[in-house]
Amino acid sequence: MKGPAGVSMLLGNWGPILNRLTRHEIALGSAAFWGGLFALFFALLWTAVERYQGWWASLDPNGSTNFSGGTGFGGGFVVTEVNGILTTHGWLMVALNTLVFMAIGMLVAVLVWSFIGEPLPGSDES
C-alpha cells in the first residue's frame, strides 16, 4: 500500500463503483450532463445545510442582529443575509454560485471524458 492510508482507502472504495459506472461508452454531451447534475446535487445539499443553520440561528432569542453582505455593482454595501435568513440578493448570489459550480462540474466531467477516451474494440471493457 503506497501513500497515505486514507487516500488508498478512498480510491479502493471508489474503484468498484467507478468500474461499474465506466463500463459502457458515454457521449460527450452525456458526460457534461452527468457532471452538471452531480454538481447541482452537491450544491443543493450544501445550500440546504447552510439555510438550515441560518434558520436555526435566527430562532436564537439571545442572538444579536447580524447583517452580512458585500459590495454591490455600484460600490455600495448590499445586504445578503439578516440573522441567518437570506434576502433576495442573497438568493441571487446562491443561484449564481450554483451555476458556476455546475459549469465547473461539467468542465471536469468533459476533461475526464477526454482523457479516458473510448474503450478499444474487442477489449473486455467494450
pLDDT in tens, 55-103: 887 777 776 556 666 666 666 667 767 766 778 878 888 899 999 999 9
Which letter does DSSP use for residue 75 in this model?
Answer: S
Burial class (CB in 10 A: 0-12, 13-18, 19+), 113: buried
User: How is the chain split into domains, by residue range?
Assistant: 71-118
- Rounded to 10 deg, the angle between the 28-58 and 88-116 helix axes is 150
Which of the two residues, 108 and 90, has the higher pLDDT score?
A: 108
Cα 101 to Cα 72, 85, 90, 107: the distances in Å are 21, 22, 16, 10
